[in-house]
Structure 1
Amino acid sequence: MRLIAAAALLAAAALPAGADEPAPKRAAPKYETRERHDPDGIGKFYMGREIARVMGFQGASWLERPERVKEEEPAKLVEALAVRPGMTVADVGAGSGYHAFLMSPLVGDTGTVIASDIQPEMLELITEKAKKQGVKNVRTVRGTETDPKLPAAGVDLILLVDVYHEFSHPFEMADKMVAALKPGGRLVFVEFRLEDPKVPIKLVHKMTERQVVREMEAFPELEHTRTVGTLPWQHVVVFTKRAPKK
């Protein structure tokens, strides 16, 4: 019996912090479909917000447009993320990998950037770019509409750039991402500001800060720790996963 108890203790010690805790029960998400809706949306609504159509891989060139540097100032975003060497970060809905490659030199040789996307064509673009640039710390993962396929309790930072509003199952995706975060890990939403009518983006591809916070209230493990408002068109809404109670 002592041997069995010792083995159980060793196994528990080998698990990531918080991994042995039971997953919290969530209220089932309430989605609604409407016949009359924005033509740029899918007619499916979550908490009053219409979900936008996914931008296909055919639009990858728009993600890599030179004007993006001026329009979005990604250097300011990356600075706000405070990425450090050795971190495991995930770019969910990575698209062409624009932000994944910005974070790659910051995590360094001891860190990893996980580029998750549901479109294999996008992942192929990332793989080709990594080969051309000799980047070895960016790895691709093909997610699904309900699961980004991230390691449980294994990620320090999850970045969502202009993509959460396109998730057909936002509740299920957020649930999986929360489970993937380490205690103290951050879930970061970068969304075009719906509050600002001057931001030249289609309405269903914009979100208010209030809406993002409201949708994350379903996850009590998350704390809204800050919102960065220094980017030209987007706000950066940051949530931190609370450490498990002892």
Structure 2
Amino acid sequence: MRNKNIHIHSVEKSGALDSSFRHRFQNPGKILSDYLHPGMTVLDLGCGPGFFTIGMACMLDSSSKVIAADIQTGMLEKVKQKIEESDLECIVQIHQCQEKSLNLTDKIDFVFAFYSFHEMSYPDEIIDEIKLLLKPGGLVYIAEQKFHVSKSSFIDIIEKMRKKGFEITSQPKVFLSRAVVMKMKEQ
């Protein structure tokens, strides 16, 4: 079902997503260190300019893959510029999603959707794809801004996930955010 109440963050204003302020209060290492391990395939869903993509890639090794996925070409160009001619080029894969589909075939260990679910036009379809791509025991980390996404909208996202067979495993504390980590219920 189409979500008509979306607001997609513009490429022109993406500098705010990469600020030193954000790095201090939403440090990728602190937020993700418990979830990432060498050899994982990670999906940064709605990666924007790559703030967390780069952070995740720096935490992993060359046996790992971070898929930087976004619907906006301009955001993916920003990620590409950051990784060009670096050691991260062999870890980060740039991937353009479609509005209704991730268009991925890789099996995923960890999906990271930070401030992105509220921007999805077709969240039910994306959740269905996540369900198919997620490896057994895989996790989905969802975070949304407290002052941009209402509590009831955040709960709606979680309920959509629950209806598709996911359950909450933890609720990490993230500055100015609501967050959950979910996995598929055991059959």
Task: Give the match for residue 18 of structure 2.
Answer: 64
The residue matched to 1:128 in structure 2 has which SS?
Answer: helix
The residue matched to 1:160 in structure 2 has which SS?
Answer: strand
Task: Give the match for residue 98 of structure 1.
Answer: 51
Return the alpha-carbon distance in structure 2 between the equivalents of residues 168 and 207 of structure 1.
Answer: 19
Q: Determine what percentage of the aligned residue pairs are the same residue.
A: 25
How many aligned residue pairs are there? 185
CA separation of 1:128 and 1:89: change in aligned 2, threshold 3 A? same
The residue matched to 2:98 in structure 1 has which SS?
Answer: coil
Give the CA deviation at 1:107: 2.5
1:127-206 counterparts in 2 under 5 A? 127-135=80-88, 136-151=90-105, 154-193=107-146, 201-202=147-148, 205-206=149-150
- 2:172 equivalent to 1:228: yes
Return the alpha-carbon distance in structure 2 between the equivalents of residues 177 and 149 of structure 1.
Answer: 11
Task: Give the match for residue 12 of structure 1.
Answer: none
Return the alpha-carbon distance in structure 1 between the equivalents of residues 31 and 41 of structure 2.
Answer: 17
CA separation of 1:76 and 1:236: change in aligned 2, threshold 3 A? farther
Using CA pairs below 8 Å that are at least 6 residues apart, which structure has the higher relative contact order? Answer: 2
Return the alpha-carbon distance in structure 2 between the equivalents of residues 128 and 157 of structure 1.
Answer: 24
Contact 2:72 2:96 in 1 (8 A): yes
Give the CA deviation at 1:53: 1.2
User: RMSD of the alignment, in Å?
Assistant: 1.9
Return the alpha-carbon distance in structure 2 between the equivalents of residues 132 and 122 of structure 1.
Answer: 18
Which one of 150, 156, 168 corresponds to residue 211 of structure 1?
156
- The structure having more radius of gyration, on CA atoms, is 1
Paired AA for residue 143 in structure 1: C
Give the CA deviation at 1:238: 0.9
Contact 2:39 2:61 in 1 (8 A): yes
- 2:53 equivalent to 1:109: no
Return the alpha-carbon distance in structure 2 between the equivalents of residues 58 and 219 of structure 1.
Answer: 35
Give the CA deviation at 1:187: 1.2
Return the alpha-carbon distance in structure 1 between the equivalents of residues 20 and 46 of structure 2.
Answer: 20
Paired AA for residue 139 in structure 2: R
Which one of 27, 34, 38 corresponds to residue 85 of structure 1?
38
Farther off after superposition, 51-60 or 111-120: 51-60
Paired AA for residue 144 in structure 2: E
Give the CA deviation at 1:241: 2.2
Task: Give the match for residue 18 of structure 1.
Answer: none
Return the alpha-carbon distance in structure 1 between the equivalents of residues 49 and 114 of structure 2.
Answer: 12
Give the CA deviation at 1:116: 0.5
Give the CA deviation at 1:207: 4.2
